[in-house]
Amino acid sequence: MTRFEPRALLDHFGRSLRAIAAPAACGYAVVALFLSVYAVARTRWPQLPDNTILALAALLAAPLALAFLWPRLAGFKAFGFEVSLAQATVHLEAEIVAAITTEQYFSGKQALIDRLTDLIVRPETEVIEVNLRGAQATPGQRGYWWSTRLYLLAALIDDFSRVQTVAFVENDAERRFIGMVRPSDIRSALATISPILETTYRGIRQNQLAALPRDAISPIVTSWAASKFQKNGKVLGEADFTDRVNKEVLSEWLTRTGKHLRNDSIDWDGVVDSRVIRSLVLEYDSPHVALLRSGRLDRLVNRLELAVRIVDRMAAG
């Protein structure tokens, strides 16, 4: 007859509890974060639909879940699938840049404005790349960004698009990575330096409140180019009012408003491996991370979307 040993049973039960305690705690932590984000979002933005809030909560909880699960993976390949790092960046084409920078008026440029509008209102656009071109921007050269037009682009993106990030590069085709910033931060910085920009834009914008985004952008752009700006007591046309933008002045303007260019980036050789995936998901807190080849912007990755895809695949087995 087998004797009943309460102590042995308790020891076995204790070992079982210890074995599941850590995974259970991790799971509860992920659930707690998910519910907390959901509750805050529901309270702060009650007008948002449930599926939007659920997606936001999932995006923020996914990296934590992956952080807990990663040590249990023997390796990324053992996980059993390849992750495609899709190109999220949308480049501003050279013709569009010329049309919205050094063209004082937009007569005959409607086709280019329409292409700019398509770029801004396209729902899948997450990132817009702005090439500041040469390191030194001189008034006699075409194609460099006017501060007034950079403000206009940022304001249009902020008002009419889902774009989360503006990525800055320089040196034309070399596309040397400078950094990333939210469109609203660019808008705020330039409006702080020149408050007349925001005042002028709002005056134009209020006449377009009832228009659909696609219908509103073109008249805003055209009206903007014909606007007058006050500077040192003088009323000036845009070409005489504006400053030229390079990375130094852009960084200075952002700093004045407590913002900065984010430089979250990884040097890579084009090979997706566990080091790259782990860095992308766990080592940064920006929505996007740049993948660079010798300082040149190769692509930008939505790290939260990547985390969700990995966790979804884990859950699917």
Within the chain, which residues score under 50 in pLDDT?
1-2, 4, 9, 13, 16-17, 19-20, 23, 70-81, 107-108, 136-143
Please indicate, yes or no, if residue 289 is contained in any of the structural domains: yes
Please indicate, yes or no, if residue 83 is contained in any of the structural domains: no
Together in a domain, 121 and 176: yes
Please indicate, yes or no, if residue 252 is contained in any of the structural domains: yes
Q: Which amino acid is at 307?
A: A
How many domains does one find in the chain? 2
Together in a domain, 192 and 231: yes
Query: What whole-number distance in Å separates Cα of residue 296 and Cα of residue 171?
Result: 10
Please indicate, yes or no, if residue 313 is contained in any of the structural domains: no
**Domain range enclosing 184:** 89-270+282-300
Among 59, 190, 189, residue whose Cα is nearest residue 126: 59
Place of tokens 């934590």: 64
Place of tokens 């010798």: 294
Together in a domain, 259 and 125: yes
Together in a domain, 147 and 196: yes
Query: What whole-number distance in Å separates Cα of residue 24 and Cα of residue 107?
Result: 65
Please indicate, yes or no, if residue 21 is contained in any of the structural domains: yes
Q: Provide the angle, in degrees to the nearest 10, between the axes of the packed helices 6-44 and 50-69.
A: 140
Please indicate, yes or no, if residue 294 is contained in any of the structural domains: yes
Among 185, 187, 184, 189, residue whose Cα is nearest residue 162: 184
Last residue of a domain, one of 18, 41, 72: 72
Three-state SS at 69: helix
For 275-299, the pLDDT digits (tens) are 787 788 778 878 889 999 999 998 8
Together in a domain, 32 and 99: no
Query: What whole-number distance in Å separates Cα of residue 138 and Cα of residue 49?
Result: 48
Together in a domain, 113 and 35: no
pTM of the full predicted structure? 0.71
